[in-house]
Structure 1
Amino acid sequence: MSLAMLSLGARSATRTQLLESLGFNLTETPDLAIHQGFQYLIYLFNNSDTGLEMNMGNVLFLDSQIELMETFMTEIKHYYYNVEVSSADFQNSTRAKKQVNDFVKNKTLGNVDQLFKELDSDTMLILISYIFFKGRWAKSFDSNVTGMQKFYTSENVSVDVSMMFQSGANNHLFDKELSCTVVQLEYSGNATAFFILPDEGKMDQVVAALSRDTLNRWSQLLQDRHVDLYIPKLCISESYDLEDVLREMGMMDLFTNQANLSGITKEASVQLSEFLHKAVLSIDEKGAEAAADTALNVVFKSYHPVIKFDRPFLFIVFDHFTWSSLFLGKIMNPV
């Protein structure tokens, strides 16, 4: 979404690289249709009751000596792109770093307090995408039975984690084709989560197969059956500099002096200095309903299938209203 927004100010080959790298066929889908599509998606997100504690958006920091084009700002507002634009004095790197870090800390409810450790005084433009997510389960886990168990970060290496437990009917399946187990858990409000547990050595295979078709196939094969479910309680964060990723996707000019962002600023030589993404994810027992106390009865004596997320797994959150993914993560180490 943030890159599509950025394309409003890109020109020539830079614009083409941006949009085609995002998967759009520009001979079939004109710019207007692309931005109207994002406009409608943003509208649906903002008007659906996700019931989630979530804050997501984008911010564009520009050097104070750079002047924005009025047409760029007008189009951003017209299509409701969730982006804020701020001026920063990058010549004073200490002050600029504090300004940027404080902004992100505020937007992520204090969970991300040091996005930047250093800022280059040559920086002219920074685009940051941020998200904080914490869901509340429709059927909560019982905190009384959460206990320490082993999580295997690799075959021979483990860490101790707080493992949550839930016994009851949940949608789940085993995909023989991809060698993975999938569990669906509902959030209060308009959201659902897929927990995907690949068999040993199958993580790369599952990741490579992740697509809308795969997710649709899973949703049709899921069966609501009784299961004893163990999921680690966690609060994790990770940050990414997306420059190499975007280059591999085909955005070759964006970070070079060949970049044409003349639709954003009046200075034609401006290029994107950094494109950072930092995500924070918290999963705990809390749900919309009071925790049931029957789980204690099945912890030590159970004849139900057991699914234990005690090794690296994948996690996807969907908005029911649009069936769009709000969050996608690979959990390698819950602590």
Structure 2
Amino acid sequence: MSLALYTCLLWLCTNSLWTAQASTNEGSSPHRGLAPINVDFAFNSYQRRVAQNSDKNTLISPVSISTALAMMSLGTGSSTQSLQNMGFNLTDMPEAEIHQSFQDLNNLLKQSDTGLEMNMGNAMFLPQNLKLKDSFLAHSKHYYESEALTIPFKDWTKASQKINKHVKNKTQGKIEHVVSDLDSPATLILVNYIFLKGTWKLPFSPENTREEDFYVNETSTVKAPMMVQSGSIDYFNDSEIPCQLVQMNYVGNGTAFFILPDQGQMDTVIAALNRDTIDRWGKLVTPRQVNLYIPKFSMSDTYDLKDVMADIGIKDLFTDQSDFSGTTEDVPLTLTVIHKATLQLDEGNVQPVATTGTPLHLPSESLTVKFNKPFILLIFDKFTWSSLMMSKILNPA
């Protein structure tokens, strides 16, 4: 593995467990100081999105967003500033190595045995009279496998239909709707999309799934299909941060942290999320006999990245003064980046079996953990320790 790739992977992680895992390779690396700075990008993005979306479900894919922003830096006259705002130290890691590392990372994610069904990509949409530079098109295709398609901006109904159809085809029908209207008068729209579904290493039995109450808040409940299993599960009850959690592995390299804040402590737990916290949890989870209840749901989130990125200091791609001289000779150019993330959480590709009607026996001596109130879900690829999904679930229904 190249040193540039190793540094990039460190940046895209959200847990220093993988840093320790690769410490023998890092030893004398001059890039050790880079990882602690850039590793915060995922949590910063997530925390900002949650703050803007405080009363709704939130879903964000940091690795997907990072890829999109790095790709757009290819076409800015201030690419150095763009990458530095993302946390890269260009003295240690030249721009060309950064883009090569993203290409390698995307290849690794495709090759990684994650046990995850994942469709991730970027597509640019532009009016027919806008010509992008050949160098930008070539580099975005080479490093990021991104396409550029023309749409009739003056007929937004047809334009939105073309965007939605393209993403639907790219995700084999898993994401059917991305846009219906557009608030900003952009001349270039970048759609960044990801769909994720996994197969659990310890699958839930579909015949045990039953409808139960989910407590949205102190006064509101909804009915939700609750998956149930009993067995040895990695568990931790945190006395420092007010929550309890379980770590569930997918078949292959995927892993998920289900985090259940104490009553009224959601904001406190979210504020405490960082690489040190995940590192500590990873070391402290221990196998326990647990009766586990997790809701089954499908969740999507769509939003313009402008406000989220501006809050964490990445503004140079989204202002009227943005320099896109490397993208096109047609100026001025305004950019909109739409992020669409979809997560499907279910029993794990297990076929239901005939049931005799006998209820599931849950050992009374086992610890019962019910995710029947708002919780947090973080999903990583352990092969690259990329942050695939970060979510806050207020209402699974």
TM-score by length of 2: 0.77
Mark the CA change 1:77 to 1:108 in structure 2 (over 3 Å): closer, same or farther. Answer: closer
Distance in 1, Cα, partners of 2:137 & 2:115: 31
Distance in 2, Cα, partners of 1:121 & 1:290: 47
CA contact (8 A) 1:140 1:291 kept: no
User: Does residue 1:35 correspond to 2:83, yes or no?
Assistant: no
CA contact (8 A) 1:101 1:115 kept: yes
TM-superposed CA distance for 1:109, in Å, is 3.4
Distance in 2, Cα, partners of 1:122 & 1:311: 40
Deviation string, structure 1 residues 166-209 (Cα, Å, up to 9, x no partner)? 00001111121111112111112221111111111221222122
TM-superposed CA distance for 1:82, in Å, is 3.6
TM-superposed CA distance for 1:255, in Å, is 2.8
CA contact (8 A) 2:207 2:353 kept: no
Mark the CA change 1:120 to 1:155 in structure 2 (over 3 Å): closer, same or farther. Answer: closer
Alignment counterpart, residue 275 of structure 1, candidates 328, 337, 340: 337
User: Does residue 1:251 correspond to 2:314, yes or no?
Assistant: yes
- Taking the TM superposition and a 5 Å limit, the aligned residue runs for 1:102-113 are 102-113=165-176
Aligned residue type for 1:6: M
CA contact (8 A) 1:140 1:289 kept: no
Deviation string, structure 1 residues 279-320 (Cα, Å, up to 9, x no partner)? 221111134698798x94523x52111110011111111112
TM-superposed CA distance for 1:108, in Å, is 3.4
Aligned residue type for 1:279: A
Structure 1 residue runs of 4+, over 4 Å off? 119-122, 287-293
- Taking the TM superposition and a 5 Å limit, the aligned residue runs for 1:45-124 are 45-79=109-143, 81-119=144-182, 122-124=185-187
Mark the CA change 1:116 to 1:290 in structure 2 (over 3 Å): closer, same or farther. Answer: closer
Alignment counterpart, residue 282 of structure 2, candidates 219, 222, 246: 219
Distance in 1, Cα, partners of 2:141 & 2:256: 31
Single out whichever of 43-52 and 27-36 deviates more from structure 2: 27-36
Aligned residue type for 1:51: G
Aligned residue type for 2:256: A
Structural RMSD (CA): 2.3
- Taking the TM superposition and a 5 Å limit, the aligned residue runs for 1:227-266 are 227-266=290-329
Corresponding residue number in structure 2 for 1:313: 375
% identical aligned pairs: 46
Distance in 2, Cα, partners of 1:157 & 1:278: 28
Provide the secondary structure at the position in 2 that maps to 1:154: coil
TM-superposed CA distance for 1:92, in Å, is 2.5
Provide the secondary structure at the position in 2 that maps to 1:197: strand
Corresponding residue number in structure 2 for 1:10: 76
TM-superposed CA distance for 1:27, in Å, is 4.4
Corresponding residue number in structure 2 for 1:155: 218
TM-score by length of 1: 0.91
Mark the CA change 1:82 to 1:221 in structure 2 (over 3 Å): closer, same or farther. Answer: farther
CA contact (8 A) 1:138 1:288 kept: no
Provide the secondary structure at the position in 2 that maps to 1:4: helix
Distance in 2, Cα, partners of 1:153 & 1:16: 45
Question: What is the total number of aligned residue pairs between the two structures?
Answer: 330
CA contact (8 A) 1:228 1:306 kept: yes
Provide the secondary structure at the position in 1 that maps to 2:175: coil
Normalized per residue, the structure richer in helix is 2
In structure 1, runs of 5+ residues without a counterpart are none
Deviation string, structure 1 residues 195-242 (Cα, Å, up to 9, x no partner)? 111111221222122222222221111111211100001112221122
Normalized per residue, the structure richer in strand is 1
Distance in 2, Cα, partners of 1:266 & 1:5: 18
Mark the CA change 1:47 to 1:292 in structure 2 (over 3 Å): closer, same or farther. Answer: farther
Deviation string, structure 1 residues 117-163 (Cα, Å, up to 9, x no partner)? 22479541001111111111122112222111111111221111111
Provide the secondary structure at the position in 2 that maps to 1:110: coil
In structure 2, runs of 5+ residues without a counterpart are 1-66
CA contact (8 A) 1:140 1:286 kept: yes
TM-superposed CA distance for 1:43, in Å, is 2.3
